[in-house]
Structure 1
């Protein structure tokens, strides 16, 4: 018998040999990336339990973790309360006063000048804090009282003119031409 010479088309070769090979490589890449993601999430969360999850559970845990991190980043930073600074300032003033009182040879005039200066600065700080609070309240009130369209940039030109400055517009009839 003569050997049969069979011709295999490129399409048949691709379907039989190349496609399964490419699919295995693709799955191997996905698994490698999933393992890396699993390790990173376990590291960031500080929880090794995620390493024992299957792929779908691990992806869900990764999504939950990323959403929590996104919320943390979008949350405004908590401001340091001015009260804690004021308390610290007053504690420092008390300590300065105590040290000056215990120091031998301390001039009463120098002590009086230092304490007066510290008191004046404290009062100035209180006034500045009060003015800042009033400014923030007035800004919030003025912004809340004026409706602003979503397309508004917030500039004065976007705000409607007062009636005294508005130019009268003649009533015109609309015509289609």
Structure 2
């Protein structure tokens, strides 16, 4: 008798699995499809704004590929944003020069000499220093007093000039 009880309990478990497995699979697929719908709509809108009007249906694999491509692009932008300001400037300048080059190549009948001159100009300016030293500006502006410029006040006494402070170039740690 105990053997029969064990068989019936197994069959109930087996029956339960038989019924629930397809139901759980349907719920899982519905969840996947629901989660893919939002990126799908975003991708369709983005592709249509880029001029690709023939987008009628994106398959799940297409949605996933475009999403992965977009995430990689965001990751690369994050890496670029962590670079120093001069690295970001160079990256932006190079991207801009590339856009100029593509634009010039798309114009029919453009003077080749003009295009090459412009691109060499852009290339030469990329290698120039990115910043100007402000220490010489600070020294020259601090040595000029209002009386040197012709502004004279009869009632006020100007304090003697303070000694020049040296500009420190060491990096200071900041928590932000």
**Structure number with higher relative contact order (C-alpha < 8 Å, ≥ 6 residues apart):** 2
User: Taking structure 2 as the reference length, what is the TM-score of the superposition?
Assistant: 0.38
- Structure (1/2) with the larger helix percentage: 1
Q: Which has the larger radius of gyration?
A: 1
User: Taking structure 1 as the reference length, what is the TM-score of the superposition?
Assistant: 0.38
